[in-house]
C-alpha cells in the first residue's frame, strides 16, 4: 500500500472525499485538515498507521470507514475529528489492555463489524457521545440494556 499523495489545493472545493486503499497516517491527517470545505470523508479498506502525532482539527459531519481493521490508535485518531463515525464491515481489533479515546465523537454507527457485548461496553465512557447504533447479531439485549443504564443520556439503537 502506498500513502495517498494529493495536493490539498486540487481538492480545496470538495465537500466529499471517497478514498480507497489509503494509508491513513500523519500526512493523510494533515491533508484532511487542509481541506476547508470537506464535509464527508469515506475511506474504503484503509490501512491505518500504528501511531499518530498529528491531531485532526477539522469538524466533519460524517466519517465513514468501510472495511479494513480498526485498532485503538486509529479509533483515537478518528475520535479526534468532531464527527459522527460510521464503521461498516470493519474488523474491530480492540484488545482490552489497549485503551482508546474518542473525545470529540458525537455519534457512532457500527454495522456488520465484529462488535461484541464486551466491545460495545467499551464505548460507554466516551464523553461527548450522544447516539450509538449497531447492526450486529453478536450484541445481546442485555448488553444494550447495560449500556442504557450506564449512559441514560445516550440514545442507543
Spatial CB neighbours of 78, under 8 Å, sequence gap ≥ 6? 56, 63, 65, 70, 85, 102, 105
**pLDDT at 9 (0 to 100):** 53
**pLDDT at 86 (0 to 100):** 96
Q: Look up cell 468532531; give the residue.
A: 82
**pLDDT at 125 (0 to 100):** 92
| Residues facing residue 156 across a β-bridge | 132
More confident residue, 80 or 144: 144
Whose CA is closest to 10, among 40, 44, 35, 41?
35
Q: Which three cell numbers stand for residue 126?
A: 466516551
Q: What is the pLDDT of residues 78-136, one digit of tens each?
A: 888 888 999 999 999 999 889 898 988 999 999 999 899 999 999 999 999 999 999 87
**pLDDT at 2 (0 to 100):** 47
Other CB atoms within a 10 A radius of the CB of residue 75 amount to: 26
| Residue 44 pLDDT exceeds 70 | yes
| Residue 1 pLDDT exceeds 60 | no
Read off the pTM: 0.87
**pLDDT at 80 (0 to 100):** 83
Q: How confident is the model at residue 151 (pLDDT cuts 50, 70, 90)?
A: very high
Q: What is the pLDDT of residues 50-74, one digit of tens each?
A: 888 877 777 888 999 999 999 999 9
Phi-psi region of 88 (alpha: psi -120 to 50; beta: other; left: phi over 0): beta
More confident residue, 151 or 22: 151
Amino acid at each position: 500500500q502506498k500513502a495517498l499523495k494529493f495536493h490539498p489545493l486540487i481538492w480545496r472545493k470538495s465537500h466529499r472525499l471517497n478514498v480507497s486503499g489509503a494509508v491513513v497516517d500523519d500526512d493523510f491527517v494533515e491533508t484532511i485538515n487542509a481541506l476547508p470545505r470537506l464535509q464527508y470523508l469515506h475511506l474504503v479498506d484503509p490501512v491505518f498507521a500504528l501511531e499518530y502525532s498529528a491531531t485532526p482539527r477539522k469538524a466533519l459531519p460524517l466519517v465513514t470507514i468501510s472495511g479494513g481493521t480498526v485498532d485503538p490508535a486509529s479509533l483515537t485518531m478518528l475520535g479526534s475529528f468532531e464527527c459522527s463515525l460510521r464503521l461498516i464491515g470493519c474488523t474491530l481489533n480492540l484488545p482490552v489492555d489497549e485503551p482508546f479515546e474518542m473525545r470529540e465523537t458525537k455519534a457512532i454507527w457500527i454495522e456488520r463489524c465484529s462488535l461484541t457485548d464486551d466491545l460495545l461496553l467499551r464505548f460507554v465512557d466516551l464523553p461527548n457521545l450522544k447516539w450509538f447504533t449497531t447492526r450486529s447479531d453478536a450484541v445481546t439485549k442485555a448488553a444494550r440494556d447495560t449500556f442504557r443504564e450506564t449512559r441514560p443520556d445516550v440514545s442507543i439503537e
